[in-house]
Structure formats: C-alpha cells, structure tokens
Amino acid sequence: MTDRFEQTTTTTCGYCGVGCRLEAHRADGHVVSISPAMDGPANKGHTCLKGRFAHQFARSRDRLTAPLVRESGGFRLASWDEAVAKIADNLGRIKSEHGPDAIAGLASSRATNEDCYVMQRLIRAAVGTHNIDNCSRVCHSPTSFALRKSFGLSGATGSFDDIEQAQVALLIGVNPTQGHPVVGARIKQAALRGLKLITADPRRIELADYGELHMGNRPGTNAALMQGLAHVVIRDELVDRDFIDSRTEGYEAVEELAGTYTPEAVEGITGVPATDIEAAAHMYAEADRACILWGLGVTEHLYGSEVVQLICNLALMTANVGRPGAALLPLRGQNNVQGSSDMGALPDTFTDYRPVTDDAITSAFEERWGVEMKRERGMKIPEMFDAAVAGDLKAMYIFGEDVAQTDPDTAHVQKALESLDFLVCQDIFETETSKYADVVLPASSFLEKTGTFTNAERRLQLVSAAAEPPGSAKTDFEILTMVSAALGYEMGYETPSDVMDEIAEMTPRYAGQSHERIGRGGLQWPVAADGTDSPILYTDHFELPGGKARFAALPYKEPGDAADDDFPLILVTGRRLEHYNAGTMTRRTGNLELLPFDTLEVHPEDAASLGISDGDTVTVRSRRGEIALPVRLTERIERGHVFTAFHFPEVRTNLLVGSSADVNTSCPEYKVIAVSVEPEASAAPLAREPEREREPLIDAL
C-alpha cells in the first residue's frame, strides 16, 4: 500500500485535544492521504473524519505563501527582510515612545509547545512585557484555575484509558461524539460493554442514547446541579470518610453548604427532576471507579471555574481520584490548548504555571535569558482589547488566532483592532483578524512543522513535518526566532528540540522531557529527570502545601444573562462534528460538502409558538447584536433554548455574545445568551440538515 507514496511520516493531529497519532502519506511533495497510526495511545488506530480526511487545506490555493504589508489601504507582497524590518521598526518605536507594556502578544493553541515557548520568550525577553496570553483564556482557563486550586496541577488526573476501566462516567457540558469524536467513540464502545453513562446538558447529546440517565439542566445551573449531587451523596452517607479525613481539608464547610441544596430545591433551579438527581448521585458514588468528563459547557460561564471546583468536590468526597478508572478528564478543544498554557504563554505564569510574581522563579528565567523582568502580571486577552480601545495598548502580535471571529463581543474586538497603531498577524490563511493587520506573515500548518503537542491527557507527543511550507512561507519556529533577532535579541536555538531541552532545564516537573524520550508513545507530565512519566496523578498525595486536596464551599449563583420578555430564549453555542473552531481549515476541505452552512436548532414547540418552520431563515437577536440563520427543528434541544455553532465567519455568532466572563479567569460566558428569534418574511427557506444528530465517522470501528 505504501509503495505509491514517496514518504510516510508519523505525526500528531492538529485538530482537537484528543491527540490522535497519524500517518501522513506524501506524493509529489504534498500530503495526499492520512491514515491512523495503529500504536497511537489516545486513538488506538482510529481517526475521525477531520483527522483522516480534512487535510486538503494545507495545499489550498489561498494559503499565505509570502509576507504581506499594508500599503495605501490594501496589502502588497513583500520580502521577508522588508516585513521583518517593518515589524522591528514599529515595535521598537512603540516600545521607545510608550514603553514595552504598550505591546502585547497572543500565542497559538494550534502551534507546538516549542512555538508557544518561543512566543512567550519573544514577548517577555525581546519586547520586555508579560502581556502574553493564548486562547485557553476563552475556553479552559477555568479548568486550569480550578484544578490548581483543588489538587495542585493544571491537567487531567488520568488518561483516556480510564474510560474503559470505569464503571460509571458522568459527562457534564460536553458532547464528545461531535467535539472529540475518537474519545466519543471510545465512550460509546465502553457503554456497549457495560459502562454506565450519566449525561448532563441542555441538549440531549448522542451519548445520552447510550446512557442510563440524562439530565437536561438549564444553561447556567451547573453549580446547583453539582451541589444537588453532593447533597445526596452526603445525605445518604455515600462519602468516603477515610479518604476525606486523610487526604483533604475544608470538607466541613462543603457539607454544611450542600445541606441546603435538596433535590427538590435543585429541581426548581435546574429543571432536572429530583428523582434523577438522586439516581445520578447514587450511580456515581456507589461505583468502585467513576470518571467525570466536562467541556466548554462547564467552563464558558460566569462561574465556570467554581463549577469545576464543585466537580472536584464530588470526586474528592467519593475518593474518585488518583486511581485507575477514577479520573477527572476535561476534554480540551484545540490540539494544544493544554500545552500552550503549560509552556507559559500566559500573562501571570512561566512554564508549569509558576507565577511571575515569585522572585526566585523570575530571577531564574532572567539569568537564563539575560534580561530583567517585572514581578507583576501582564494583561489577559479581554484587558488587551480594553486597553487598545482606551489608547493604552498600541501594538499586538497575534500568532495563529482569529480573535475577530472567535472571541466574544465581536464589535468591541473589532474596535480594539482598529484602534491599534500596529498589528502583526502570523497565520496560514488571511482571516477576519488579518484584515486589520499591518503585516501578515505566512506560517506553517501542523503538517509542515516539528515539535510537540500536549493533548487533553497531559501527553506530549511528537509532531513531525510531512511536507514543506508552501512558497516562501516559513515554520513558526523560524519566524519567531527571526523576529526576535531583528528586535536585537538572539535566542540561540538551532532546532525545536533545543527549545524542549531548555523547557526541561527550566522546569522541574518537566525535567525528563526531550524529543528523544517522547518517542512514539509520548510522555504524560510530570516527567521525572530519568524520563518516568505520570499516567495517573495524586496516587498518594496532592500537589498543594501539606499534600492535601482542598474542598471549595461555593454556592450556586445566577448566570450573567437571563431570559425576559424581550429576549425569551437562551442561546447555547458549541461544535459540529464536520468542522473545527472558526472553520479556517475544515471549510477548505471536503468537509464543507458534508456541512455547507450552519443552522439554529429550535425545539418544535418553541418553533410553533414563534410561527417558524423547519428551514425558515430567522433573525436571532441578543442584547449585543443580531445574526440570521436557517432553522432546524429538533427535540434534542430543551424547550426554551436554541443552539448553533461558530464555524462559519459569515454567520458571526459571537456578535451575540456580551462581556460577561468567568469571575476568576475572564473566560467569556458563551453558553448563556438571552435571545429573541423572529422569522424573516422575505427570506426563502434553505435546505435543511437531517433531523437526527449525525453519527461520528470513525475509521475502522
């Protein structure tokens, strides 16, 4: 079979956070086919339709192949020397006139660990500011915050293999068969073999059809639901007192608070029947081994970080942590959203989430990098946009992120980009964001670079170039080190492997990481100096002072938005199987034929009261903006709610999203948006998608 290919390269998928290992087959200089690597630890020889088939984007005719610079209101082609000189001149001027804190950078959660490390070093050492962030801010920063508060480390406590070893799995605010299809298939297979599933979501996700119990709680009520489960576990004496007494602290306050969240009271808040809350609590707590999986339906809320802490509470009171089959597994969205934060591409931490306010840690990096740095954090993404509008932030360097499409309150983001004196965009295509740029740099896709990604299991895996970047495009590693040198700061790396060696040198918990040791099977951090990794965390102690986990007594609070007479429905946003994030890659592949446009899911009873029919185009209005979409009627969405995704720039879903954000991390509240839905009388009905939710297309099941 391989005879017809000139080269086959084993690499790691650049789509979601599952981290599937792939075999990329090249012919005539291009990747023409992809198959699963049979020894992939996360995918075990399977892929989804994106990983296997959606690779044509890499050779799309509209790839950026040369630098662009703005001139006379438009762009013209430029040489690398000219483009990089323009960047260095403008950033240097702004730094001289306004100080380094007038500049900010965004790293890419689609890029490698090494790229993200170099990017944060560029901003910190070459520019001189801690104004560096990445897109985990708008997705899983609440997970990171909560896991560190509760357990000590910012990552899943186990592995996807724990799914097969568990007796019960609680899935809350996550739809794996659509967003993480290979893990979704593993869950489905485990359910067919006896795993008991509990699902909690405003939509009846496909896995609910394979489960024991589905709880269709109202958006924004996750905290009340978790408190209701805790109440029953405590009331019915299902807690593990030995574990609580020996390995945790703060339980008494949690026990007292949970006493007020009776199943009946929680039913009034969430809409979930009290009997279902009791049944779910018993299923989870009575299992010898139980997992909890969650996604953006938990984190992208006003109190998302607090809900993750409540999830940790439930695991702690039942001793479902630190054992095989008893894992907490946040399903990360982008391929390296875990790693981009691990690598220190955050305004308040270096690698391994060590604070910039810690003098000893900052001093160590100062000595290694030969610079001086502040001991106070930089700006988070929302603060960057606010500062740009206010005139305090003058320049941004945005690497592999389309903030004008993916971030909330789109009008505010656009105003911020327009307000900048200078904007650099580094990407593989022109995007909504690059329209505002002064310089656009042509970068590399995951099929054209070398380094590592870290998946949702904390597993570092090698990424190997299967093709060359097109035209005069360069790898991100080459671009970032080139820009740094132009700014007068030589980093001294020859290869991405050198970067990983520095990461290991500077980070005790990553001490044993190297490209050679990672090999084909990957390493799950922490990695000891001898290369021993950690598939399961917290087997005998937690990574907090005293070695004990911390319970958090956190009450339910109302979400940031609510339905009223003017906006009577709640919009929930999410992912579709066929596409990925802003659709930049998948809409340039055959996947666009599978799903050529998005729809608004509406319950038939709501549609009847609104006077709309399947396929009608409607106007969706929020307190922030309005969009138009065709309707798809489905009973999978609960009454009073509507659903759509964010994969199509022309829809501009995020125009509807306001400024409400998680209280601890500034993660936007994408999941609770009060809207009205009104028919467009003049609009012709559009072809509709099938009523059923599509089965995930998994290879070789």
Q: Where in the chain is the domain with CATH 3.40.50.740?
A: 68-138+347-524
What is the CB neighbour count within 10 angstroms for residue 348? 17
CB 41 within 8 A of CB 35: no
pLDDT band at 1, cuts 50/70/90? very low
| CA–CA gap between residue 335 and residue 354 (Å, rounded) | 23
Closest among 32, 56, 38, 20 to 445, alpha carbons compared: 56
pLDDT band at 410, cuts 50/70/90? confident
pLDDT of 151: 98
Phi, psi of 232 (to 5 degrees): -65, -40
Give me the sheet containing 7-12, strands edge to edge. Answer: 7-12, 21-27, 30-36
102: tokens are 């007038």
Q: Which amino acid is at 52?
A: R
pLDDT of 585: 84
pLDDT of 3: 63
pLDDT band at 296, cuts 50/70/90? confident
| pLDDT(332) > 90 | no
Percentage of the chain beyond pLDDT 70 is 97
- DSSP 8-state class, residue 124: I
| pLDDT(334) > 90 | no
Closest among 107, 681, 186 to 426, alpha carbons compared: 107
> What stretches of 180-303 show up as alpha helix (H) in DSSP?
181-192, 222-235, 241-247, 251-258, 263-270, 274-286, 296-299
Q: Which amino acid is at 698?
A: I
| pLDDT(300) > 70 | yes
Q: Name which residue leads in pLDDT, 668 or 581.
A: 668
What is the CB neighbour count within 10 angstroms for residue 358? 13
The H or E element that residue 199 is part of is: strand 196-200
| pLDDT(590) > 90 | no
| CA–CA gap between residue 699 and residue 695 (Å, rounded) | 12
pLDDT of 136: 85
| pLDDT(685) > 70 | no
214: tokens are 């589905």
Average pLDDT over the chain, rounded to an integer: 93
| CA–CA gap between residue 690 and residue 271 (Å, rounded) | 28
| CA–CA gap between residue 54 and residue 31 (Å, rounded) | 11
The H or E element that residue 511 is part of is: none
Q: Where in the chain is the domain with CATH 2.20.25.90?
A: 2-59
Non-local (6+) Cβ contacts of 241 within 8 A are none
The H or E element that residue 426 is part of is: strand 422-427
| CA–CA gap between residue 252 and residue 6 (Å, rounded) | 64
- DSSP 8-state class, residue 321: S
CB 604 within 8 A of CB 624: no
| CA–CA gap between residue 175 and residue 183 (Å, rounded) | 10
Q: Is 174 helix (H, G, I), strand (E, B) or coil?
A: coil
Q: Where in the chain is the domain with CATH 2.40.40.20?
A: 569-679
pLDDT of 4: 77
| CA–CA gap between residue 80 and residue 84 (Å, rounded) | 6
**Residues 470-526 pLDDT 10s:** 999 999 999 999 999 999 999 999 999 999 999 999 999 999 999 999 999 999 999
Closest among 444, 429, 354 to 114, alpha carbons compared: 444
| CA–CA gap between residue 456 and residue 454 (Å, rounded) | 7
CB 261 within 8 A of CB 340: no
pLDDT band at 693, cuts 50/70/90? very low
pLDDT of 536: 98
Give Dmax (Cα) for the chain. 72
Percentage of the chain beyond pLDDT 90 is 82
CB 478 within 8 A of CB 122: no
| CA–CA gap between residue 59 and residue 468 (Å, rounded) | 10
pLDDT band at 597, cuts 50/70/90? confident
Q: Does domain 2-59 have CATH number 2.40.160.20?
A: no
Phi, psi of 279 (to 5 degrees): -65, -40
- When pLDDT is averaged across residues 188-217 and rounded to a whole number, the result is 96
pLDDT band at 698, cuts 50/70/90? very low
Q: Does domain 569-679 have CATH number 2.40.40.20?
A: yes
| CA–CA gap between residue 122 and residue 483 (Å, rounded) | 8
- When pLDDT is averaged across residues 93-105 and rounded to a whole number, the result is 98
The H or E element that residue 590 is part of is: none
Q: Where in the chain is the domain with CATH 3.40.228.10?
A: 141-330
Closest among 281, 278, 230, 237 to 257, alpha carbons compared: 230
Residue linked to tokens 């922490």? 526
**Residues 521-549 pLDDT 10s:** 999 999 999 999 999 999 999 999 999 99
The H or E element that residue 357 is part of is: none
pLDDT of 651: 82
pLDDT band at 627, cuts 50/70/90? very high
Non-local (6+) Cβ contacts of 357 within 8 A are 348, 375, 376, 377
Residue linked to tokens 């209280």? 663
| pLDDT(695) > 80 | no
| pLDDT(691) > 60 | no
End-to-end Cα separation, the chain, in angstroms: 20
pLDDT of 682: 41
Q: Where are the beta strands (DSSP E) in 500-592?
A: 523-524, 549-550, 569-574
Q: How many CA atoms lie within 13 A of 183 on its CB side?
A: 30
Return the minimum-mean-pLDDT range out of 222-231, 609-618, 639-648.
Answer: 639-648
Residue linked to tokens 């896991």? 147
Measured over the CA atoms of residue 295, residue 297, residue 298 and residue 299, the dihedral's sign is positive
CATH number for the region 141-330 comes to 3.40.228.10
* CATH of 68-138+347-524 among 3.40.50.1860, 3.40.50.740, 3.30.390.10, 3.20.20.210: 3.40.50.740
**Residues 417-473 pLDDT 10s:** 999 999 999 999 999 999 999 999 999 999 999 999 999 999 999 999 999 999 999
Q: Assess whether the previous peptide bond of 690 is cis (omega < 30° from 0).
A: no
Non-local (6+) Cβ contacts of 386 within 8 A are 416
Between the alpha carbon of residue 298 and those of residues 139, 408, 654, 670, 680, the distances in Å are: 10, 17, 18, 10, 33
